[in-house]
Structure 1
Amino acid sequence: MKTVSKLSAAILTSLLFSSAAIQAATQQQIDAALAPVKSAAMLQATLSQPSALDALGDELPAFIASIQFSNAAGQATFDNSQLQTNLTATEVYQILALFGQQSTIGQYPDALAYSDTDRLLLENAVLPFCSADSPIKLRVILKNDNQVKFNYRQAGVACDGNVELTENTSITYKLVHTKRTPKGLRITGAGFTNPFDAHIKRVTVGEDGQSLTLENDISNTGVSKWQFIFSNDDSDLILVSPDPQVINRPS
């Protein structure tokens, strides 16, 4: 009976994940189909009246110049660098919604959060896994309430810090400093929930404390939960990150 129960639970879990994935895909299709702006003509009509685009201010001309539409589906592509700074999460969401891309709000973790709506949008955003293909850029930001926020970006795209691996490889994280990064922030090591499970076989910290590389052992499958360990010039206390994960899952 226990075996049947476990199997039933596994099947149910699989169905729930599949259902969630289908619902997400369907919602994205609905958003795209109902997008108010799907052509250059629609864009010009939107620009002729007040709209969410007004929040871009002086950045609006550069953003508009970067927009291109697919002839087949009317899907818009654009340079999203103008959406990365000085806009609230709500403003970013409303601009994305014009093009049916509001589900990508998770790609803008640095959007300003002044209202409960801003915070709700950012807290519920689902980010993709990072990969081992290129360095993962880590930003550590000290917010106005003295809480620390960690975010990850790879090739200009936000990701959640977790990596799923199917072979032996190395994962490199690099610190990126901003005006809101704690002064003198340095990586001093990595702490593991269980350092004896052998999912990760080696950790190397760069001499300047600005990078960390993990090497995995794919023969030991499973999830390794760990934390960055930092030192900084503003406090004698050690700073640790929320748990990123490395998942060894052979193909």
Structure 2
Amino acid sequence: MTGPATQSVPSLRLRLARRIIRLVTRRAARKGLADNLLTYVDGTQTRWLDPEIARFLEAMDSEVLRLRARADFVALPGLGNRVMVEFAVWTTAADRSLRHLGVTPETARRVVADLGWDVYRRMLRLSSLPARLVTRDPGRRLRWTIRALLYFPFNAPGAPGYAVETRRDGDDILTHFTCCPPQSLVRRLAEIDDDPDTLEAFRQSWCTYDWPGADLIAGDGVRGHYRRRRTLSHGDDVCDMCWAARSQRQETAPHAPKK
């Protein structure tokens, strides 16, 4: 683990990416928190107004700086891997800041999942736009978009960066990830800090987005373009993702939270 004293100066591209991520995350937080009913550990419920939201944003910014110093960005190969770890830093910071302000872990996970999906779906809409403009075939839209995403930001040079085996199965595309840098960081933080809620927040946000994300990319108004039976964050050795050209009934759902 790299400490603040040994962190190198981030590149101009990474600094720019961090500014953009901060902007979109804070914007999503402002909107999402204003629309959510929050439950506190003492059982009270309330909706946050501007002063509470501002206090959360300040706490989240501070937590990001602490967590960023514990993420080994220097070891990560390429900008895409570093950008995705930066997103994971913000996810963890949002979850921990909510809990530090007295919100229950369950509520924090729900809110973080909603905020993260707001950001992720915008990224997917932009990434899939060229394919959706060129073809109406959902399989081509999925294959072309996934290939583009595997170029950036999910480029996979191998551990400690993303490691993935990609192949075709008929019209479907299979992406089997065996290393996921954001998951690796969050798991390490959860273990070192003895804070399992950190990993659970990641699992119930990041690890649930691909089901609706695949349907969004396919853009044919039908559900069921994604399947996955195993997940790294659940303790499996692979995320065995299948992006199905023709929609099928979901054969599996995200792993239930461990008790």
- TM-score calculated relative to the size of structure 1: 0.29
Flag the structure with higher strand content: 1
Bigger Cα Rg: 1
Q: Which has the higher contact order (CA 8 A, sep 6+)?
A: 2
- TM-score calculated relative to the size of structure 2: 0.28
